[in-house]
Structure 1
Amino acid sequence: MKRLFSLFMISLLSGATTLGAYKLFFEGNSGHNSIVTSAPTNYNRTIGNYGEAIDFSVAAENAIHTVVHVKNVSVRTIYNPIMEYFYGSRGTQQQEQIGTGSGVIISEDGYIVTNNHVIKDATELEVTLNNNKSYKAKLIGTDSKMDIALLKIDADEKLPYSTFADSDAVKVGEWVLAVGNPYNLNSTVTAGIVSAKARNLDTRGIQSFIQTDAAVNPGNSGGALVNTRGELIGINTMISSPTGSYAGYSFAVPSNITRKIIEDLMEFGNVQRGILGVEGRELNSNFSQEIGINDTEGFYVDNVTKNSGAEKAGLQKGDIIKKLDNQKVNSFAELSGYINSKRPNDKVQVTFVRDGKIKVVPVTLVKKELFNTEFKGLELEDIEAADKKKYRIDYGVKIKDVTSDALKPYQDQLKGNIILKVDNQKATDVETVSAFLNRKGEDQSVNIQMINRLGQMMQIIIQ
């Protein structure tokens, strides 16, 4: 009897399985003579953590109305040497040039942030909103080092504006949207992920980019990089491309740095830069082996600037900086990026390792203008506005003093000169020169191009 009952149960289960399979594979496809599986209606939605769906349309709708088209009108003088020889001043012509880019509205009363290179040399600026209304714009201030400019328009209505997110909290792999208005055809949106943070491209002094694979082309410069809530995490500033068009990667100035710059421009009229007062390089396996330590992560302090906050706090050569406040530091780009979001007299908690022990000290940042560096017996400092005007240059570092006994006989000829290039690298400021020189050994020669106090070009090689 038990055997008969077991056979009955097996037969019943087999029949149910067969019936279920028939209903699933045949009745489920009734009326569709195809083996192609239809995707559910929300198939194109990206599934986030915990199964939550991310809808890019919300972020796009929040962002597109805050992104504007920026038109830059400039005048260039064209010289015709033959015409100038025969006709004098009539040999020159004034030619109008028009450049375009994007910008982001950051306040309802019409403040707009864009790239410095978008508005450079402009004699006239015009901004067109996403609703096609156009306004003349006034330049409030610029920061050429970080490629940021601040504009202002007087609109006849309250404007939609972008809110700032914390760019330090952005994670690699996070979805982002790049929004621009390149051709005055209303805002365009592309999607991608954050590919990397704190990218140092050694260009124009910018040391801490957000890298993304969202498509950005030249006309999108100055546009917004936003998260999936439509909040601003960066200002798109450049692309990596051999052709001038998008080829896989683009870069944005982080929102924390951008916010600090525009607040400085609005409050002070210029950018207030603070410095920590350390020079050095990031650790890696080869360098750690070279200096005889086991640690391969962090920023190795090779020199502490005199009278800086770092010196007053007791930081020393050989210390390994691990964190600034709660931000991990593994590279110069991460260190400079965080410091660039601070002002002089701000306090930063520096976590570092010395002799295998972890220490934490508060460091008060000092004004960047006090920053100088010394290399091969030359003490260098940033040039002032008067120097730029006098020598008609927009970058360079000045030889403040000569400390080397070998160079003392040439002190009068060197002191006060403006260094323009070091080994064919532009000497944009002391920070840039210091970072470059720290990658060279003390036993390597350095080729220096400079302007002397008479305005004459010089070139010297220092061993």
Structure 2
Amino acid sequence: MNTATNALEPSKTALPQRPLRRRLAASCFAVFTIVATAAVPLPVLARSTPESFADLAAEVTPAVVNISASTTVEARNRTLPQLPPGTPFEDLFEEFFNRRGQGGGGGDSAPSRPRSSNSLGSGFVIDPSGIVVTNNHVIGDANDISVIFPDGTRLKAEIVGKDSKVDLAVLKVKSDKPLKAVKFGDSESIRPGDWVMAIGNPFGLGGSVTAGIVSARGRNIESGPYDNYIQTDASINKGNSGGPLFNMNGEVIGINTAILSPTGGSVGIGFAVPASTAVPVIDQLRQFGETRRGWLGVRIQNVDDATAEALNLGTARGALIAGIDDKGPAKPAGLEVGDVIVRFDGKEVKDSRDLPRIVASSPVGKAVDVAIVRKGQEMTKQVTLGRLEDTEKQASLQQPSTETPTATRQALGLNMSGMTDELRRRFSLKDDLKGVVITRVDPNSNASDKRIQAGEVIVEVNQEPVTSPADVTKKIDDLKSQGRKSALLLVANAQGEVRFVALSIE
């Protein structure tokens, strides 16, 4: 044997001899381990990671623009100090204000001078004819808007339409040649972990490309009634607003709108309006110059676990109808207070936040099927949608008095009394409001935790009307005998606005 072979052999003097069968087994195990290790496939992430974003960026960047918006306002008049004639300071003050461009002298009001307020943002072309999309807050009330293209071309823009609730604006520019445009993609199919790329105008630097992943979907940041943001860690900063968020096919799946940052700069938490929310609004703005949202005419609240148990829903889901507009389309369609909407026009309503967004994106005048659960039974009603008017007003809440008259019954941490003229005056209750008046709430009760207050009125218990405290206690006793864990109360405030509250009866 040569030297190399001897080096691989175990020493016969250092190690005891093993039977051949055991040595073969050990050798086979070693070979198997090596082969198995070599056969393990590489992680999926390593195979799907893009080598570069350069080709994608080069393809779509010509359609991404900078937005310059300026607003000219009249400066407030400034009045020079009233000074005695001949005072040594008269000439000094006059010279000071003249230097600052305020003009005037003595005690006369200085003439105003227009001031200009400028903002910078981003946008993108969606139609070669010159249709540009951006955020509403980028242009605000600007009276001079320019769209600046990557090649330096600067075109004046006019507003086609804008919507503050989804924070979108559509602009129109005139070009002597077709413009590079990008198209929207399917934002509903993206998943947390998918790669995305943002292009915009951060801090006025011009076209900048950043990349990251989708961090989450369906984010509610309390910025409006239709919040449904895509969260991404692709760097988004001041000036990126209105710019596109691309998938790896070069399709716009979001419009970069907001960031969460304690510093004012990117900390990896950015939000984009999903294409599924933006496209219907953009289409309406292009067609009508305004939004025309569907309207159902109901007031809703969320369904928690206790409410779901009380309504025999199984799991907490849907939107619970707590009020119906007498002039809205829901009433003639047969929807009732206490119904839980679980599907709307074939779309699942997972919680109460889903419904306004789905309804608003539905065409005005469309007849839609609404699946509801009523007293444990699912049924379908057909509703012809009205139009949501942005000028709708909501009645303000009036705080009831804290005085507590003598109670006649107690249950669930509530002191209750039948409706009387004296109680109606004391708590300023609406004349046609009927039910059982709550005169005191135990601060250590579940009712207090659910924010029930003295002066409110119990209208129903488990969707059955009550007119006396005895009605309430009897229904609660019935629920206990059925083994139920909670009671569903329909509670009205002084103005008659109602909400459902599920209270534990254990």
Is the shorter-chain TM-score for this pair beyond 0.5, marking a shared fold? Answer: yes
Partner of 2:239: 219
Q: Relative to 1, partners in 2 of residues 1:373 and 1:119: Cα closer, same or farther, differing over 3 Å? A: closer
Q: Which residues in structure 2 correspond to 1:268-287 (within 5 Å)? A: 268-285=288-305
Q: After superposition, what is the alpha-carbon deviation per residue over 1:279-311, rounded to whole angstroms, capped at 9, x for unaligned? A: 111222355468786531221111122232322
Q: Relative to 1, partners in 2 of residues 1:440 and 1:7: Cα closer, same or farther, differing over 3 Å? A: closer
Contact kept, 8 Å, 1:67 with 1:181, in 2: the verdict is no
Q: After superposition, what is the alpha-carbon deviation per residue over 1:320-351, rounded to whole angstroms, capped at 9, x for unaligned? A: 22222343322333222222322211233322
SS at match of 1:353: strand
Partner of 1:47: 45
Q: Which residues in structure 2 correspond to 1:81-96 (within 5 Å)? A: 81-83=78-80, 88=108, 90-96=110-116
Q: Which residues in structure 2 correspond to 1:368-379 (within 5 Å)? A: 368-369=388-389, 375=395
How far residue 224 of structure 1 moved from its aligned partner, in angstroms, is 0.8
Contact kept, 8 Å, 1:298 with 1:322, in 2: the verdict is yes
SS at match of 1:98: strand
Q: Distance in 1 between matches of 2:24 and 2:397?
A: 96
Q: Distance in 1 between matches of 2:207 and 2:174?
A: 21
Partner of 2:265: 245
Residues 1:164 and 2:164 aligned together = no
Residues 1:210 and 2:230 aligned together = yes
Contact kept, 8 Å, 1:283 with 1:299, in 2: the verdict is yes
Partner of 2:328: 308
SS at match of 2:389: helix
TM, length-normalised to structure 1: 0.67
CA RMSD in angstroms, aligned pairs only: 4.1
Which blocks of at least 5 consecutive residues in structure 2 are unaligned? 1-18, 83-105, 399-423, 432-449, 457-493, 496-506
Match of 2:73 among 73, 76, 96: 76
How far residue 112 of structure 1 moved from its aligned partner, in angstroms, is 0.3
Contact kept, 8 Å, 1:126 with 1:134, in 2: the verdict is yes
How far residue 150 of structure 1 moved from its aligned partner, in angstroms, is 1.0
Contact kept, 8 Å, 2:196 with 2:211, in 1: the verdict is yes
SS at match of 2:181: coil
How far residue 71 of structure 1 moved from its aligned partner, in angstroms, is 0.7
How far residue 186 of structure 1 moved from its aligned partner, in angstroms, is 4.2
Q: Distance in 1 between matches of 2:143 and 2:386?
A: 36
Which blocks of at least 5 consecutive residues in structure 1 are unaligned? 1-5, 26-42, 379-403, 410-438, 446-461
Q: Distance in 2 between matches of 1:154 and 1:84?
A: 50
Q: Distance in 2 between matches of 1:139 and 1:374?
A: 30
Partner of 1:135: 155
Q: Which residues in structure 2 correspond to 1:18-29 (within 5 Å)? A: none
| Higher strand fraction (1 or 2) | 1
SS at match of 2:236: coil
Contact kept, 8 Å, 1:283 with 1:330, in 2: the verdict is no
| Higher CA-based Rg | 2
Q: Distance in 2 between matches of 1:371 and 1:184?
A: 36
Q: Distance in 2 between matches of 1:325 and 1:351?
A: 8
Q: Relative to 1, partners in 2 of residues 1:309 and 1:168: Cα closer, same or farther, differing over 3 Å? A: farther
Residues 1:66 and 2:63 aligned together = yes
Contact kept, 8 Å, 2:200 with 2:244, in 1: the verdict is yes
Contact kept, 8 Å, 2:78 with 2:109, in 1: the verdict is no
Partner of 1:360: 380
Partner of 1:400: none
SS at match of 2:202: coil
Residues 1:102 and 2:122 aligned together = yes
Partner of 1:260: 280
Partner of 1:384: none
SS at match of 1:228: coil
Partner of 1:199: 219
Matched residue count: 368
Residues 1:233 and 2:231 aligned together = no
Residues 1:339 and 2:352 aligned together = no
Q: Which residues in structure 2 correspond to 1:7-46 (within 5 Å)? A: 7=20, 14=27
- Counterpart code for 2:64: V
Q: Distance in 2 between matches of 1:56 and 1:321?
A: 46
Q: Distance in 1 between matches of 2:44 and 2:58?
A: 17
Q: Relative to 1, partners in 2 of residues 1:214 and 1:130: Cα closer, same or farther, differing over 3 Å? A: same
Contact kept, 8 Å, 1:84 with 1:91, in 2: the verdict is no
Q: Distance in 2 between matches of 1:150 and 1:170?
A: 25
